[in-house]
Amino acid sequence: MDTEHTATERTATKHTATEHTATQDTAPRDANSKTASSKQGEPSFRKIIHIDMDAFYASVEQRDNPELKGQPVVVGGLPSQRGAVCAASYEARQYGIHSAMPSRSAVQRCEHLIFIKPRFEAYRAVSEQIRAIFFDYTDLVEPLSLDEAYLDVTADKLGIGSAMLIAKQIRDRIRSELQLTASAGVSINKFLAKIASDLNKPDGLSLIAPDQAEAFIEHLPIEEFYGVGPATATKMKALGIHSGADLKSWSQTTLKQAFGKVGGYYYKVARAEDNRPVNPNRIRKSIGAERSFFEDLKQLSEMEIALKKVAEEVHQRLLKNKRNGYTLTLKIKYDNYDTITRARTLETPIREQEEIFQLAKGLLVTNLEKHRPVRLLGITVSNLVSPQPYSQLSLAL
């Protein structure tokens, strides 16, 4: 199904899709979304597209192996290997299967589920092909992952002018050139475009229209706000915040008191405001690695051996990305899936593999609950900086 969807339809029903021809590609009168230019005295606004590939990993596998088309496919580890779901085809999702679900639980929901080992190099190659299409229209492309990105097409390279038409062309090219489908959201800022791309998946094109943005947000359930996770949604509902309109009724000061610094973000998006630019030079915030084990680790010595291998992998990734970091975070997942994270921040950047291991080991020894089997260990380095040469002593001769 290839449909276009407007914000007005969303307020009535989430599942109704009708064709929409974009005749006006302006935006709400929101000063925070203005561009520098104007026409005939009227303010001009950004045109932002969010592209989200549909079940990307699974769709690539179904494309490359026609026998998998129409089948419930999961990309991830086998149940016998205590793996987890990386991605699920839409056929698998009908059984309630989703990413991050233990493979053992997934196969219980669908006995004929087909498991495919991830081919990340193949997915990266396809992702590069998709981005090449994006760059035909704008240089302002901000990848969020292999399968999604923001595009600022306010001044597109081809002079098309309409963000809706550009989004349609991109989706048509992805379908014809790569035999894959993508969903797209169009609006005046990143927050609204991201929400729009989720309105009509899969294979949909949705617009949160200029004069409908604030009304749309007021009707949006709080759990559907981008940036509001399950725990925060539960807290908000306990405080009487069930929709955008409820959120909008709170002052910025009160929101910050209740939710901290992020309260300022909630205050703005409740008013359809988001002035974050599309950043083509988006800097990675953390680098890490983790390992799940076929059998739970019960001895500290076993965990230290496993942790050393994770530290080696993290160090290699830091070298590849030419980064050091000030903060190291250890992740421990127990056999019952209880998960804890503990972090330590240093005054100087973490550089060496042995340093990564010793810091992680110290956090493990200090925080591990005795007699609890461990199924996963992970290490992440954050507060990243570019490597600096070691300072050397200057000797007076």
N- to C-terminal Cα distance for the chain? 78
Does 128 qualify as catalytic in the annotation?
A: no
The strand pair at 148-152 and 42-45 is best described as unpaired
293 phi/psi in degrees, rounded to 5: -115, 140
* Contact of 151 with 184, CB cutoff 8 Å: no
User: Which run of H or E residues covers position 314?
Assistant: helix 300-321
* Contact of 88 with 113, CB cutoff 8 Å: no
Please pick, among 9, 148, 218, 273, the residue that the annotation labels catalytic.
148
Residue 47: CB atoms within 10 A of its CB come to 28
Q: What tokens appear for 4 in the block?
A: 């276009």
DSSP one-letter code for 122: H
Outline where DSSP puts E strands in 171-298: 182-187, 204-207, 286-297
User: Which run of H or E residues covers position 207?
Assistant: strand 204-207
The set of catalytic residues is: 148
